[in-house]
Structure formats: structure tokens, C-alpha cells
Structure 1
């Protein structure tokens, strides 16, 4: 959608870092927003040569001649002065870091955030992963006003979409970034028109509140003492990154794709069965998990048939 003239006149500062945020920045530019500045992470050394790498948002901003600020610290006086100089009416935060009040409370219209869940569900750093890990059939995006406690501000707009049985965190991410980008444009339009009503977050008494904390290594290790469906959901929820893993003949084995099977296991949970040619299955409490795409420590990612063709079983 294109913004009306009132919305186009708003001076917007955009804050974001990864590719997920680029979709939102692009949608705002395409809709005619006046983006007066972009705040993103400092360049960081990466790769074998440890060359400085720009964030996805910075690359986009530079390509579109948008002013860029890359503060190390968000309370730095020099950065705060530069931010004030941009004279934003509204700030928009997508997949950025936690903002101090001196930053989010600076513009007259405040700061809005795009979050990857149907708040108040899945507050936290990894809402996409946890929704898939928990076997949710639906998720969505929320725009809300920033306030002191993280992901608790008043809701502006929400949009929802289904999670398929074979969807991964990666496929959900790709749908969500586009759905979220369009919701953000609608939010800017509604704020400019004065037609949006802020709604305080409330958890219905009939619902359990799910959280979405940061993913750590221990989260990624597969526990086969669970139903095959639960293990399958963990694999989906951590694919393609950071990847669920187990150990296979003493080496770390990442599993990116798998299929649960209802067959009764003939070995204890965590043990595997294979014909050494076409399948490799791990036993769970109620069935088997057929792994389809894997990466053994020190090897490249590959389909299970390619792996078995070259693997020498003891």
C-alpha cells in the first residue's frame, strides 16, 4: 500500500540490523515514507579474513542513500545528539537491541516495535523458534508502542498466519518478514491518521502464557526420551539455524530435516537403526524419527542418502 500525504510527511528513524528488518525498511521506502535516518549495529569482523562486515540493514540503507548511524553504545552523548538532530516524529524498531528510555521516548510520537508473535504470547528474543518448537499451528506479528518492560507495550495492530506441519523456523521467518513489513506500513498510516487505538496487553484466563527466551546450546541438544512429534518440532524450530543436534558414533550430528514415524522402536530412545543405504532413524519414546538432512561434525550439510553412501559404519 502507498501512504497518504499525511503519513508520508512523518519524519521516521528506522532501527534494525538483520535481513528480517530489511523487508520492513524496504516496505516503508516503497510506500513513500520519509526515512531521515537508519540506526544499525557497528560493522563487525567475520569470516576467515576477519574483514569488517556490514549489517543487512546498513547495506540496504547505503544502497538507497539513507543516513546511517552505528553507535557502540545507545547512551553515548554523541549518538544521542546526532539522533536528536534527525528530528524524528516517530521511531521504528525491528529486530534491533533493547533501547534505553532516553532513546525510545525521544520523538513526539514515541517508538513502535514490530515483534514476531501474537503478543502477549512469545515475548522474548526467539519467538519464531519457540512457536515452532511448541508445535503451534498459527503465529503472527504485532506492532506495539515501546515502554519500560520488554515486549509489554500497548498493542497497535496484529496480523496472523498459519504454521504448516512441515514448516521450519526458516520458512516461518520468510513469511513473517513480509507480513510484518505490510503491517508496519498500515501502522504508520493509522498513527498518522489518528485512527489507531492502543490496546494494553492482557493474557486471557483460558490461555497459558508462553515465553520465547534466547536459544542456547543446551536448548538445541535433542532429548529422545520424548514423543517423536516433539523431537520433530524441535528440529523444525531450530532449522536452518542454529540447528538441533545429537551425537552419532561419538561425533556431533546436526539434524535440519526429519520425519516422525509411528513404528514401534526396537531399540531404546536415542539409539539408531539403519540399512546403511537409504535411511537412518533414531528411536523416541513412541516411535522413530527418520532424519532426512544432516551435517556430521567436520562435514558439509547433506541429504541422508548422500551421507550414508559415503559413511563407513563400524
Structure 2
């Protein structure tokens, strides 16, 4: 069975590597175009492209997925199945091309957390479990019939980075199982059951990442976890941005105004929320590198 794989970040690399290790024929890899990055604006390759090149796989990097030249190239590959992991939305002419269809691996238990940022939003909302789902692509995003799913527990201290790594590993295994089932014709499709309590996972913008200290401490703590390590929750200190990567939560009467700060100037720094403190552990002050709170306090008078 010939497969065209589509993906871009590290999350997708694990799935591509699992398919290669399982012996499937990867006819080509479709990934994002190289982009300028860093101070020197040198072209940066996607994680998927780097893996593909290292393993001798054909790479396609179309600027537009409806480009006639790309469509012709894709058709000429005669793929039986297309596999999508952490890629952009496909036009129907692409996802409807292969005879066995196009499947997607999504980092949630669908229909919960459809959208661009399911990992972040699951933790931000205080969920205790998440998972991965394989499904067939249809016209509307993340709405296709489910093939298989696996649950993953979320620990109280897990960050988005921790959950990302858990789902990446479990998802790669689930994807291989799904592709094997499709190859044998031994699978069942289940329509997604929608109820009133479906939660969504829209793309996250900068304004969403700013901490509102008038919120309960649990809400603030979950926001920090859910945005770490990227795009990162932040507040302001001396009119400069302070990103918070890691913190502990203290539920107690603060005795000070929300957003107020307590520190001994050496070992601890904490901000007051509505009903407790956020005790910072790892942070980045505007213009500085990421550091521990102790390193930060050694160079900052508060």
C-alpha cells in the first residue's frame, strides 16, 4: 500500500517514523515550505522535512495546495492512502484523491477539542484525560468518521509540553494500527456523536495568553500549564513582559490585591490571584534568557 504522508512539526515526525519502521511504502512526504527564521533570517526546514531528507524520502513543499502542478504531481504518485498529522486544512481535490481515502491523527478524543490547539485547551480547561483519534477526512475540519481512539491520562502537574509528548507517542502507535486495519479492510467507521457539551480548541492568539490575576488561582495555574512551553502565559512587571513557564499553586488567603507581588528577593517570587498565589519557578523576563526564579532574583531588585 502506497502512502503519501502530510505533516510539519515534531508531533508528526513520530508518526512518520512509526510508519517507516512498520515497513509501509511512503511514496512522498508533503510538508510546509522552508521559512526564514532567527536573527539571520536563514531558511528553516520543518521537522518532518529534516526526517524525510535524512531517510531518503521524496519531499513536496507546495505553497498552495490547489496549485495545478502540485495536484498533477500528487496524482502521479498513485497513492492508495493519504495520512495527515499536524498539517493544514486540505482542499477536497486533495483529500478525496486516493482510493482508500485520507486519514488524520488528531490530538484529542473527538468530537471534543476540534481545532488547531487541542493539547493546550485540554489542560487550560483542567481536563484529567485526553487522547488521540484517527478518522477519515471530510469537508468540515475534524468532523469525519472515527476509526480508532486511545485515552491518555493528564496529571495535575502536566504542561502542554508533557501532554504533547504523551500523545505523540501514543498517536504514532495508534496510527500504525489504523493503517494496518485499513490495509486489511478490517475496520469500522463511527460517526462522531455531538452533544451540547462539546468543547472547542481554536487557534491561540497573544491576547489570550495574558494572565488575569482576578481569576481563581486554579484557572491561572491551568493557563500557565496549558501554554507551556509555547506560546507561554505572561504578565507584566515594571512595564515589561514576564513569561511564566513553570509555577506552583498555593490556595490561600493572600491579603493583598490581585496581581500583587510577594518576594524575599532571593528564593521566591509569587503573584496574588483571586484566592491564592502563583509561585514562579521558571520564567523569562523581556530582553533576557529563560531562567529559574533564583537566577532572576539575583539580577533584579524588586
> Matched residues in 1 for 2:40 and 2:214: separation?
42
SS of residue matched to 1:130: helix
How far off is 1:42 after superposition? Answer: 0.9
Matched, 1:33 2:24: yes
From 184, 191, 206, the counterpart of 1:200: 191
SS of residue matched to 1:308: helix
Deviating above 3 A after TM superposition, structure 1's stretches of 4 or more consecutive aligned residues are none
From 89, 97, 109, the counterpart of 1:118: 109
Q: C-alpha deviations, 1:104-144, integer Å up to 9, x for none? A: 00000110000000000000000000000001000000000
From 24, 33, 50, the counterpart of 2:41: 50
> Matched residues in 2 for 1:296 and 1:63: separation?
37
RMSD over aligned CA atoms reads 0.9
User: Matched residue pairs, number?
Assistant: 302
Question: Where does 1:83-98 land on structure 2 (aligned, <5 Å)?
Answer: 83-98=74-89
Which residue in the other structure is 1:268 paired with? 257
Matched, 1:243 2:218: no
Which residue in the other structure is 1:135 paired with? 126
Q: C-alpha deviations, 1:29-59, integer Å up to 9, x for none? A: 0001011111011111112221111111111
Which residue in the other structure is 1:188 paired with? 179
From 228, 242, 247, the counterpart of 1:253: 242
Which residue in the other structure is 1:108 paired with? 99
SS of residue matched to 1:38: strand
Which residue in the other structure is 2:69 paired with? 78
Which residue in the other structure is 1:223 paired with? 212
How far off is 1:204 after superposition? Answer: 4.4
Q: TM-score, normalised by structure 2?
A: 0.98
Which residue in the other structure is 2:150 paired with? 159
> Matched residues in 2 for 1:287 and 1:62: separation?
50
Structure 2 unaligned blocks of 5 or more: none
> Matched residues in 2 for 1:194 and 1:216: separation?
42
